[in-house]
Chains A and B, each alone.
Chain A
């Protein structure tokens, strides 16, 4: 399933169980930005170029065109919802960050994006991730890097009834199979 980074989200494949819908989404451009997130100038440039402020640690923040996710004290991940915006952002950052110790890389081809929908989405995460995904600990805007099963992932809520998950591209077939298995009928407990 080869994707063009058009900026248009397309459905690569999907699986529906009784309680859960799983989709792999393609075409979402991503940028990795490295820099000192606590640096005032860096903050201003990001806010200006992306039109979103740097999120708090362990958070994700969005505007209409893009989302900014906090990866670590010196790393951001930017998701663009349109291809044009992606290039604009990359170019904008490239020039604005000149002179400031930083690094901007297109990683659109390095990660796969999944959307899990259905009220039991928390349960799916709980089957594989050691993170506390109770409502009280994992809510809207939270962005968590961890593992699910044996795969390194990050996830955040898409809505009350859905969650986005990213993993490394080379793991996507395996991870998709994992998700489908975890969602299979008769295996969910309605725990949360």
Chain B
């Protein structure tokens, strides 16, 4: 069972205090977008084996959403950051590349 440090309230939260929210940094497509772009926004997912940027909700805690970078194979967490970051911040990328030099953020 996982645990994350919530970057908002700084508590170490148990997985049972959180609810998962899927892939992070997906740009919303509203009216005016193409069918294909809308499909991608709504359904298409990277679903990588490896580092996954994802959303979590501190439901039984401060009630805030946050982002995490986690390996979907080993469950290692490379850091958590605010939900309002529109892409992974540098310190997260650094933390990842330090441990996995071959990793590329696609």
Contacts and interface: CB of A to CB of B under 8 A. Distances in A.
Nearest to B63: A72
A58 interface: yes
Interface stretch (A7-15, A16-24, A145-153, A169-177): A145-153
Given A57-B9, A58-B10, A58-B11, A71 B16 contact: no
Given A72-B62, A72-B63, A72-B64, A147 B16 contact: yes
A58 B58 CA distance: 14
Contacts of A71: 62-63
B8 A73 contact: yes
Interface string B62-99: 11100000000000000000000000000000000000
Contacts, number: 35
A57 B60 contact: no
Interface residues of A, number: 14
Contact of B17 (A72, A132, A147): A147
Contacts of B16: 130, 147
**Do most interface residues of chain A lie in helix, strand or loop, or is the interface mixed?**
strand
A20 to B, nearest CB: 23
A144 interface: yes
B22 interface: no
A72 B60 contact: no
B17 to A, nearest CB: 6
A131 B58 CA distance: 14
B11 A72 contact: no
B10 A57 contact: yes
Interface string B1-44: 00000001111101011000000000000000000000000000
A146 B17 contact: yes
Given A58-B10, A147-B17, 8 more contacts: A71-B63, A72-B63, A72-B64, A73-B62, A73-B64, A131-B11, A144-B11, A146-B60
18 contacts: A57-B9, A58-B10, A58-B11, A71-B63, A72-B9, A72-B63, A73-B9, A73-B64, A75-B63, A130-B14, A130-B16, A131-B11, A131-B14, A144-B11, A145-B60, A146-B61, A147-B16, A152-B59
